[in-house]
A and B are shown apart, each in its own frame.
Chain A
Amino acid sequence: DVKVTQSSRYLVKRTGEKVFLECVQDMDHENMFWYRQDPGLGLRLIYFSYDVKMKEKGDIPEGYSVSREKKERFSLILESASTNQTSMYLCASAQTGNNFSPLHFGNGTRLTVT
């Protein structure tokens, strides 16, 4: 089974702090994604990456950046955390191929910014 591991289940940070959310997948997937989940809004894509050192903006990239130095790891960075970034953050990975393989998700990191 594919395993996507997010380093923290819960995080509490202060406004203005720099925050790192880490995600590691063990199936050699080319594609990795960061979504945030908010009640009533579903999942919204922040950034994604289709290869090492490659990144693409999603629908809500403002206030975030990402890093993908190794294939298995995709990091989300909040440069200066704000209270409106309090949310559940979900990392996912997917294999490139012709079978439209599904996304595999981690268990999420619930971030609270105070």
Chain B
Amino acid sequence: AQSVAQPEDQVNVAEGNPLTVKCTYSVSGNPYLFWYVQYPNRGLQFLLKYITGDNLVKGSYGFEAEFNKSQTSFHLKKPSALVSDSALYFCAVRDYGGSYKLIFGSGTRLLVRP
């Protein structure tokens, strides 16, 4: 079965520093991976996706993610964090067999301190 794991419940970083939010995956076949962000009292917003091709994927709000097949990871990164990046981040993988379902990780809360 497809699954993703987010090993950190919370990540703390100072404004201006680089940030990384970790995600590892387990899939049968090719992985189709996504990152979403959730601001307080809002639904999830799409940040970026990896389907195939370049291992470094660029997305919204200056975020990028690095796909690493050997480590089965898809970490979310940003070179310089902003206080406004503080939110809940979810990694997700497309379910097997052509379904459009997404399977989500448990989420990581990012706190950027001024």
Nearest Cβ on chain A to B32's Cβ, whole angstroms? 6
In the bound complex, do residue B42 and residue A42 qualify as a contact, i.e. CB atoms below 8 Å apart? no
Q: Could you say which residues of chain B place their CB within 8 Å of the CB of A31?
A: 100
In the bound complex, do residue B94 and residue A102 qualify as a contact, i.e. CB atoms below 8 Å apart? no
Q: Could you say which residues of chain B place their CB within 8 Å of the CB of A44?
A: 104
Known: A100-B51, A105-B45, A106-B43. A42 touches B100 (CB 8 A): no
At the interface, yes or no: B113 with Cβ under 8 Å from chain A? no
When chains A and B are docked, how far (Å) is the Cα of A108 from the Cα of B36? 15
In the bound complex, do residue B104 and residue A43 qualify as a contact, i.e. CB atoms below 8 Å apart? yes
Q: Could you say which residues of chain B place their CB within 8 Å of the CB of A42?
A: 6, 90, 104-107
At the interface, yes or no: A103 with Cβ under 8 Å from chain B? yes
In the bound complex, do residue A94 and residue B43 qualify as a contact, i.e. CB atoms below 8 Å apart? no
Q: How many residues on B have C-beta within 8 angstroms of the other chain's C-beta atoms?
A: 23
* Nearest CB in chain B to that of A29: its residue: B100
Count CB-based A-B contacts (< 8 Å).
Answer: 55
Q: Could you say which residues of chain B place their CB within 8 Å of the CB of A90?
A: 43-44
Q: How many residues on A have C-beta within 8 angstroms of the other chain's C-beta atoms?
A: 27
In the bound complex, do residue A40 and residue B106 qualify as a contact, i.e. CB atoms below 8 Å apart? yes
* Nearest CB in chain A to that of B102: its residue: A103
* Nearest CB in chain B to that of A45: its residue: B101
At the interface, yes or no: B34 with Cβ under 8 Å from chain A? yes
Pick 29 A–B contacts, CB within 8 A, sort by A. A4-B43, A9-B41, A40-B9, A40-B107, A41-B106, A42-B6, A42-B106, A42-B107, A43-B90, A43-B104, A44-B104, A45-B101, A48-B100, A90-B43, A90-B44, A99-B51, A100-B49, A100-B51, A102-B34, A102-B49, A103-B44, A103-B102, A104-B46, A105-B36, A105-B45, A106-B43, A108-B41, A108-B42, A108-B43
Given contacts A45-B103, A100-B49, 7 further A-B contacts (CB under 8 A): A42-B107, A45-B101, A92-B43, A100-B51, A103-B44, A105-B45, A107-B42
Q: Which 10 A-B pairs have the closest CB atoms?
A: A105-B43, A102-B46, A43-B104, A42-B106, A42-B104, A105-B44, A31-B100, A107-B43, A94-B100, A106-B43
